Amino acid sequence: MPLIDGGSIAGAQYLRLGINDITAPREGYVLAQEADVARLVAFVAGWPRLRPLVIHCWFGVSRSPAAAFIAACALAPEVEEAMIAAYLRKQAPFATPNARLVALADDLLARDGRMRAAIEAIGRGREVSTGVPFALRLPGPQRAA
């Protein structure tokens, strides 16, 4: 996995989660843990919302869409998970958010299974060779993930 040096992003806050795109333990790979999702949620909570929040992963299909969905749910607890997931699907028809990340966040954010259900409802995204940039814009001023 190529690494981006957070220090090379002038003046920006930076969080790197060194996890692989897997949903169950697999030898030689790093499975997302509760602490990883807690770090993501804490990072998003500290985002000053003065500039866009950029989320990326190697392929752009599973981990980053999951992180964007998690960020949106964390930042807009009043918005229904199904609405956020439907909007994610509209903006990124290729997205198949990582189920492990979503499940961990669902528990952490006390969404009572609604995050899991919302992602299951939108199903697998269309096949692509790589994801493309997309934006999720949340209700309210300067609320984008």
Compute, in degrees rounded to 10, the torsion defined by CA atoms 123, 127, 131, 135: -40
Q: Looking at the 3D structure of the chain, how many domains does it have?
A: 1
Spatial neighbors of 21 by CB under 8 A, at least 6 apart, are: 57, 58, 59, 62, 63, 98
Residue 46 lies in a domain: yes
Q: What is the pTM of this model?
A: 0.85
What are 19-50's pLDDT values in tens digits?
989 999 999 999 999 999 999 999 999 988 88
DSSP secondary structure letter of residue 97: -
Q: Would 48 be classed as within a structural domain?
A: yes
Residue ranges making up the domain that contains 67? 11-122
Strand partners, 105: none
Q: Is there a domain that residue 26 lies in? A: yes
Is 144 part of any domain?
no
Tell me if 142 is assigned to some domain: no
Place of tokens 């996890």: 19
Q: Give the pLDDT confidence of 42-86 residue by residue, as tens digits.
A: 999 998 888 888 888 777 788 999 999 999 999 999 999 999 999
Which residue has better confidence, 145 or 140?
Answer: 140
Q: Is residue 136 assigned to a domain?
A: no
* 72 burial level (CB within 10 Å; 0-12, 13-18, 19+): buried
Q: What pLDDT does 140 receive?
A: 52
Q: What is the pLDDT of residue 135?
A: 82
- Do the domain assignments include residue 107? yes
Asked whether residue 55 is assigned to any structural domain, the reply reads yes
- Nearest partner of 72 among 33, 31, 118, judged by Cα: 118
